[in-house]
A and B are shown apart, each in its own frame.
Chain A
Amino acid sequence: MKMQELKDEVRSSWETLNLTDGTPSAECLFKPAIRKFGDLRRKSTWIKAAIALEVGWILGGLENRDIIHYFCDPDTPVGREYNQEVLDELLTHKDALERIKSGLEHLYEEPIEAEDTVYALTFLKRISGYQDATEVLQAIALPSVA
């Protein structure tokens, strides 16, 4: 991703996250918010901010079933380019696993479309390698995986 596109993504993710938690999106607050991730002259700072803010609006704005859809069918530039990093960051949040579990159960037990079941199984396989995830995910025991 080029620097300008990255900065645009960071800004729109920051605004989206603010919508979900009621923080004002005043211009003067933007740079201080991003500076928490490091030196604004470095691309690595913007990448870090892009990933963290992406996780922010995913958890703040999407329903649990749509969190799984996000990872299986990413359509944002950050979601496409940094899909694994976004997942790693998401899993550092305390209630992320519970939300993933709830999303998987919904997709599998109450699918609306045919792809829902496929996404649930694909994502469950992907995440089952994570050390902390095993215990929570065992509780789901989707029939086709067991």
Chain B
Amino acid sequence: MGWLDRWKEQPKDTQLDLLGEDQALVQQQRLTGAISNKLLAKEVKQRGGTKKTHAAINAIVTQEMLGCDTEQLYETTGGRPGHRDTLPLEAQEALQVGDVAARHEMVSSDAQGDLQLKAAARRGCKPARKLFPW
């Protein structure tokens, strides 16, 4: 089944609403790194994780996708901590891919709770990292 079949099967009012519950400010918006990370955070919450789980997963995604820890990443690149927009584009791209891969692995393995969510994020990122040359 392609994505269009999946889209046609969804109720019309949720077709454009990844964020759910009428939360999205605008129905048609371009997917940014911030939105991908928000979707990851929402999935974590829905599956019984907390903001601490989300923080751990951000660190796991950074390690798995870029091979360094978060602190090192900002220090070395001169980015402003906590502000991904200030990282080199290549790093932002890999982190966004990692966020998406982590979220889809949580869904497909039906991960629940802190430990399972962190393990799913790591599993999801491993094949995603192979897309990149480093």
Please determine whether chains A and B interact with each other in the same assembly.
yes
Question: Is there a chain B Cβ closer than 8 Å to A20's Cβ?
Answer: yes
- C-alpha gap A107/B35 in the complex (Å): 12
Question: Is there a chain A Cβ closer than 8 Å to B71's Cβ?
Answer: yes
Question: Is there a chain A Cβ closer than 8 Å to B105's Cβ?
Answer: no
Known: A19-B59, A112-B25. A63 touches B52 (CB 8 A): no
Given A22-B68, A60-B55, A75-B45: 20 more A-B contacts, CB < 8 Å: A15-B56, A20-B55, A20-B58, A21-B70, A21-B71, A22-B72, A61-B59, A62-B51, A62-B58, A63-B37, A66-B51, A75-B50, A75-B51, A79-B51, A102-B80, A103-B82, A110-B34, A112-B19, A114-B23, A115-B23
Q: Are A13 and B82 in contact (CB under 8 A)?
A: no
List the 7 shortest-distance A-B pairs measured between CB atoms, nearest first. A61-B55, A22-B69, A19-B59, A64-B82, A113-B23, A21-B71, A20-B59
Known: A95-B81, A110-B34, A112-B19. A57 touches B52 (CB 8 A): yes
| Per-residue A-contact encoding for B28-67, CB less than 8 Å = 1, 0 else | 0000001101100100010000111011101110010000
Q: Are A66 and B71 in contact (CB under 8 A)?
A: no
The interface residues of chain B lying within 8 Å CB-to-CB of A114 are 23, 25
Give chain B nearest CB distance to A36 CB in angstroms: 19
Q: Are B83 and A58 in contact (CB under 8 A)?
A: no
Query: Which among A13, A57, A106, A115 has the highest number of chain B CB atoms within 10 Å?
Result: A57
Which residue of A13, A22, A95, A113 contacts B25 across the interface (Cβ within 8 Å)?
A113
| Per-residue A-contact encoding for B80-91, CB less than 8 Å = 1, 0 else | 111110000000
Give chain B nearest CB distance to A120 CB in angstroms: 13
- C-alpha gap A57/B41 in the complex (Å): 15
List the A residue with the shortest CB-CB distance to B56.
A16
- C-alpha gap A76/B50 in the complex (Å): 6
Q: Are A61 and B41 in contact (CB under 8 A)?
A: no
List the B residue with the shortest CB-CB distance to A67.
B82
Question: Is there a chain B Cβ closer than 8 Å to A70's Cβ?
Answer: yes
- C-alpha gap A112/B82 in the complex (Å): 17
| Per-residue B-contact encoding for A106-134, CB less than 8 Å = 1, 0 else | 10001111110000000000000000000
The interface residues of chain B lying within 8 Å CB-to-CB of A69 are 51
Known: A75-B51, A115-B23. A62 touches B82 (CB 8 A): yes
Q: Are B58 and A61 in contact (CB under 8 A)?
A: yes
Which residue of A61, A63, A110 contacts B56 across the interface (Cβ within 8 Å)?
A61
List the B residue with the shortest CB-CB distance to A116.
B25
Within 8 A of B (CB), among A33-49: none
Q: Are B69 and A63 in contact (CB under 8 A)?
A: no
- C-alpha gap A16/B60 in the complex (Å): 10
